[in-house]
Amino acid sequence: MMRRTASLMVLAALTLLVSPSRSTAQDLEAAVTGLETTYGTVKDLRADFTQVAQNKSLGQDVKAQGTVFLKRGGKMRWEYKSPSPQQIVSDGKTLWVYTPELNQVNKGSAPKALAGPAGSFLAGLGRVRDEFNVRFLNPANKADASGRLVLDLTPKSPTPLLTRLVIAVDPKDHLVREAVIYDQFQNAVTMTFTKIAINPGLADSLFTFTPPKDAAVVPLEPTR
């Protein structure tokens, strides 16, 4: 609690930080409108990505890279090329995780966090106001060093896999170039996207998976 002897100047500064100005509110409205308009028209998307997964409790960072394909209806395909090959595929109903190194396929129902609007870039970012509480990460400095607007999104219905989402949006095309996803334990996954292709016309067959004949198929979640 601030002492009563704090100066009026400090109080005024804190007020500016806590209560966004009309200009900030207008800038936020414009950023959200641009984001919703862009992703509201996206049917499918392809992009290269780099990923840094930070495990807070272990103090470890794991880096990876690959290509992602997304399509409305909860369809997705993440093809990891490094540090070791792996495929994560969902047709919106079933989720497959194939790890060639183990010759193993994990299969289960696609979680709501992946198929639902709060966890889907294409659905969730097309309805930001419905799914998230939104603010600038830093109202005093809305953009990062690359000039991208940085928005702090809190899901109105958080899940264990998604309690917070921070995104860096290109003000020119309103595409998300970077996303930081936080789970319930404050572990963070930072995704950086390049070579983004909007509406390339991805076939539904890209989002189905047939396990190799000699691969072990294991339930994604242990049976009770």
What CATH code is carried by the domain that includes residue 112?
2.50.20.10
Q: Is 187 inside a domain boundary? A: yes
Supply 112's token pair.
């709501």
Supply 124's token pair.
């969730």
Q: Is 8 inside a domain boundary? A: no
pLDDT reported for residue 131: 86
Supply 73's token pair.
């209806």
pLDDT reported for residue 216: 95
Q: Is 20 inside a domain boundary? A: no
pLDDT along the chain (224 residues), means of 10: 40 38 78 92 93 86 93 90 93 91 92 49 79 93 95 89 91 94 90 95 96 92 58
Cβ neighbours of residue 108 under 8 Å, at least 6 residues apart? 94, 95, 219, 220, 221
**What range does the domain containing 211 cover?**
27-219
pLDDT reported for residue 56: 80
Domain count, the chain: 1
**Among 107, 101, 49, residue whose Cα is nearest residue 79:** 49
pLDDT reported for residue 21: 47
pLDDT reported for residue 77: 92
Could you give the CA distance from residue 126 to residue 38 in angstroms, rounded to a whole number? 7
Peptide bond connecting 117 to the previous residue in cis, omega within 30 degrees of 0: no
